[in-house]
Amino acid sequence: MGTSRNLERRTILKAAGASAAVLGLATTTGCGGESGSGDGTVTIRYSWWGAEERAERINRTIALFEKKYPKIKVKTDFQTYASFWEKFQTQAAGGNPPDVFQNAVTFLRKYDKRGILLDLNSQEKAGNLSLDHFRDGVTKVGQVDGKQLGIPVGSNTMALVVDEKVFRKAGVEPHAGWTWDDYFKALKTIHDRTRIPGDTGYFTIMYLYDLYLRQNGKAFYTEDGLGFDQADLTEWWTDGYNRVKAGIVTDPKIVQQDNPKSSLSAGHGASEFTWDNFTVRYSAEGDSTYGLAPIPTTDGRQTGQYLASLMLSASSHTSHPKEAAQFIDFMAHDPEVGRIMGYDRGILASAEQYDAYRPTDAVDKEIAQYEVDTAKAGVLGTITPHPSGADTIEASFLRIGGDLGQGKTKVSDAVKQFFTESEAAFQA
């Protein structure tokens, strides 16, 4: 799934072509659905975004798939997040998107509107893939207007990652049901006692603002527009700007300087809102210990959380819809694939893979337990719809919020700019 604190967006990779060569991954720029060979073998193209570790894991799963389906060959291509979507947009405009590709809810309506996505309900009816045995009804994330446009391979939810050493030093203890007032008091206490900002920039994260709005009976999106007004955003961004000036939220200039490393793992903030499965990045980048804490609430209970998902979609242009569907089904349900992928793309979405993988390291165990505890708390709702243009709007929210925090623009001007850019994105 996509997020303003997305690990994949902030990871600098080697050139994708070189990385693919090192990993033995073939790339192609041919049209979707390559011609079959004389012996009945067909080739499909599969593209995704992510880091090299993900590519290595996926390469292993493809070898398993080709062993089970010797008449289907898979050509692969992977990029960083931004590069992936830049390339995909070009491919889609040219009518040659990959047969199968990694996808997220932000892009479903956009590319459905352009006729790029295959409705996989037809392939489910044909027996080429299964929509059964998924956790927590997460298949709904891939549905738009009755069409199944994506099949989930991993699920996650928003969480608060904290530097446990800093929190202990400040004498602050996160707890379920704490309110936003509690959280902001904690940030001030942390700053007063450690001189470290308590948060790295909550007010620029679109998905967190969505949770806050949901706690208050609204949402970031409706099916065809924004679910809040300028007064709502003015209040949110004024609050964030004032906390930056007070020193309890990290200066966006420092966040920018730390990039691609997180300011949390760089020691320039004590907490950061992100997707729960991204917790592993902080242990890899930082020198402290990091843990997951509950989302602050408005009423002491409702967090506004939902399960999001990375998913696999197929192109409506593919010449091999059956083979594409069989590949997606294998990648979503095969137990050995689940053991190989682990929580790289989130908590495994299908029951077969979830049951097959048993995390052994402390971080993965904590991620799994966080999702179990969140589900048991009964706070998970249905994901907010993302209309066409949501990807552009998310980028605008992050950029304009960052400019605001740096003092490059006033709150009133930032709000007007965001609504203007959002309207243009919806009409594109």
Q: What is the largest CA-CA distance in the chain?
A: 72
Q: How confident is the model at residue 37 (pLDDT cuts 50, 70, 90)?
A: low
CATH architecture of 158-305+383-427: 3-Layer(aba) Sandwich (3.40)
- Tokens standing for 3? 């997020």
Residue 15: the pLDDT is 31
Per-residue exposure over 122-161, b if at least 16 CB sit within 10 Å of its own CB, e if not: ebbeeebbbbeebbbebbebbbbeebbbbbbbbbbbbbbb
DSSP string, 209-250: HHHHHHHTT--SB-SSSBSS-HHHHHHHHHHHHHHHHTTSB-
For residue 288, which phi and psi values (nearest 5 degrees)? -105, -170
Other beta carbons less than 10 A from residue 116's beta carbon:
24
Q: Could you report the per-residue pLDDT of 255-265, keeping only the tens digit for each?
A: 999 988 999 99
pLDDT at 17 over 70: no
DSSP string, 325-341: HHHHHHHHH-HHHHHHH
Q: What is the mean pLDDT of residues 138-152?
A: 94
Residue 18: the pLDDT is 34
Helix axes 230-245, 411-427, angle to 10 degrees: 130
pLDDT at 378 over 70: yes
Alpha carbon distance 326, 188 (integer Å): 53
Residue 50: the pLDDT is 87
> Terminus-to-terminus CA distance in the chain, angstroms?
23
Q: Could you report the per-residue pLDDT of 176-219, keeping only the tens digit for each?
A: 999 999 999 999 999 999 999 999 999 999 999 999 999 999 99
Residue 24: the pLDDT is 35
- Tokens standing for 142? 């891939």
Residue 25: the pLDDT is 37
Better-scored residue on pLDDT, 38 or 384: 384
Mean pLDDT of the chain: 90
Residue 349: the pLDDT is 95
Alpha carbon distance 353, 213 (integer Å): 33
Domain boundaries, the chain: 8-156+308-357, 158-305+383-427
- Tokens standing for 134? 């998924």
Residue 278: the pLDDT is 84
pLDDT at 169 over 70: yes
* Residue pair 419/230 in contact by the 8 Å Cβ criterion: yes
Residue 34: the pLDDT is 54
Residue 383: the pLDDT is 87
Residues in CB range of 203: below 8 A, 6 or more apart: 209, 236, 237, 239, 240, 241, 243, 249, 401, 405
Alpha carbon distance 303, 100 (integer Å): 34
Residue 35: the pLDDT is 54
Residue 36: the pLDDT is 62
Q: What is the mean pLDDT of residues 31-40?
A: 61
* Residue pair 128/119 in contact by the 8 Å Cβ criterion: no
- % of the chain with per-residue pLDDT over 90: 79
Residue 1: the pLDDT is 47
Q: What is the mean pLDDT of residues 408-426?
A: 97
The CATH number, out of the four listed (1.10.3720.10, 3.40.50.1970, 3.40.190.10, 2.40.50.140), of the domain defined by the range 8-156+308-357: 3.40.190.10
Alpha carbon distance 152, 329 (integer Å): 10
Q: What is the mean pLDDT of residues 403-423?
A: 97
Alpha carbon distance 183, 165 (integer Å): 17
For residue 64, which phi and psi values (nearest 5 degrees)? -65, -45
Alpha carbon distance 338, 268 (integer Å): 35
Residue 81: the pLDDT is 87
* Residue pair 161/292 in contact by the 8 Å Cβ criterion: yes
pLDDT at 271 over 70: yes
Q: How confident is the model at residue 299 (pLDDT cuts 50, 70, 90)?
A: very high
pLDDT at 151 over 80: yes
Alpha carbon distance 79, 16 (integer Å): 6
Residue 171: the pLDDT is 98
Place of tokens 């992050």: 398
Other beta carbons less than 10 A from residue 192's beta carbon:
12
Alpha carbon distance 214, 286 (integer Å): 32
Q: Could you report the per-residue pLDDT of 318-346, keeping only the tens digit for each?
A: 999 999 999 999 999 999 999 999 998 99
Which amino acid is residue 262, in one-letter code?
A: S
Q: How confident is the model at residue 22 (pLDDT cuts 50, 70, 90)?
A: very low
Q: Could you report the per-residue pLDDT of 349-372, keeping only the tens digit for each?
A: 999 999 999 999 888 899 999 998
* Residue pair 48/341 in contact by the 8 Å Cβ criterion: no
Better-scored residue on pLDDT, 380 or 20: 380
**Same topology between domain 8-156+308-357 and domain 158-305+383-427:** yes
Secondary structure of residue 407 in the 3-state scheme: coil
For residue 242, which phi and psi values (nearest 5 degrees)? -65, -35
Better-scored residue on pLDDT, 145 or 35: 145
